[in-house]
């Protein structure tokens, strides 16, 4: 996240969207999990190293971003969200660099 903040121009923005476990309070990380099958089981994809929870917003703010959370599922409505393949847990984090 620090690198993302570093490469975002002052006054610029980036959109962050990650698989999000909204049923968790905190992001789940375990660097000892290295086997692809174990990563898929724990983090939902073989090439992921963590499973983010809503606390990602705090992490992005801590990296120096001003943050707006956009719930496109809510904004578009269920029919449009389904048409675009969005889940209720698909939040977009609009990160602005100052």
Owner of token pair 């490469």:
7
Q: For residue 77, what pLDDT band results from cuts at 50, 70 and 90?
A: very high
Q: What is the pLDDT of residues 36-76, one digit of tens each?
A: 999 999 999 999 999 999 999 999 999 999 999 999 889 99
Q: What is the pLDDT of residue 97?
A: 95
Closest-CA residue to 96 (of 28, 37, 11): 11
* 96/17 Cα distance (integer angstroms): 14
Q: What is the pLDDT of residue 92?
A: 93
Question: What dihedral angle (degrees, nearest 10) is formed by the CA atoms of 41, 44, 45, 49?
Answer: -90
Q: Which helix (H) or strand (E) holds 67?
A: strand 66-71
- Helix, strand, or coil here: 36? helix
Q: For residue 90, what pLDDT band results from cuts at 50, 70 and 90?
A: confident
Burial of residue 19, with CB atoms counted within 10 A of its CB: 0-12 exposed, 13-18 middle, 19 or more buried = middle
Owner of token pair 């943050």:
67
First to last CA, the chain: 15
Q: How much is the pTM? A: 0.84
């Amino acid at each position: 996240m620090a690198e993302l903040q570093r490469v975002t121009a002052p006054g610029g923005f980036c959109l962050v969207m990650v698989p999000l476990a909204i049923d968790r309070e905190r992001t789940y990380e375990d660097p000892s999990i290295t086997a692809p099958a174990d990563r898929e089981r724990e983090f939902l994809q073989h090439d992921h190293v963590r499973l983010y929870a809503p606390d990602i917003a705090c992490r992005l703010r801590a990296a120096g971003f001003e943050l707006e959370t956009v719930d496109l599922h809510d904004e578009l409505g269920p029919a449009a969200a389904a048409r675009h393949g969005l889940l209720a847990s698909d939040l977009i984090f609009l990160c602005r660099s100052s």
